Amino acid sequence: MGDDLDRLERLSTDELRERAFSLARHRWDVQFFWRLLRSIPAAEAAAGHLEASEAGIATASARVSEALSAEGDPEVQEALRPLYIAYLSEHGDG
């Protein structure tokens, strides 16, 4: 498992996101996407976007689109790396 985790850590954030999304779609894993959406405000804060992290439920639709988009903020995507790695490691795509 350590080797798999090391291999995942070496992947780019874009590759991790694509792999995690593909696996979650294949598994019909709505919980992964829900966990990802819940994590976006914290990822935005970690990326220094405090005003965005304070946004409420009114922006939920935009957050869904952004979370599922490869064109989202690179700093936010980078902050979501641990979720992609944990998901792929947990479900055997290492």
Residue-wise DSSP of 50-83: HHHHT--GGGHHHHHHHHT-TTS-HHHHHHTHHH
**Rounded Cα distance, 30 and 81, in Å:** 18
**Rounded Cα distance, 23 and 30, in Å:** 11
**Rounded Cα distance, 27 and 6, in Å:** 24
pLDDT tens digits for range 7-22:
999 999 999 999 999 9
**Rounded Cα distance, 81 and 55, in Å:** 22
pTM beyond 0.85: no
pLDDT recorded at residue 60? 61
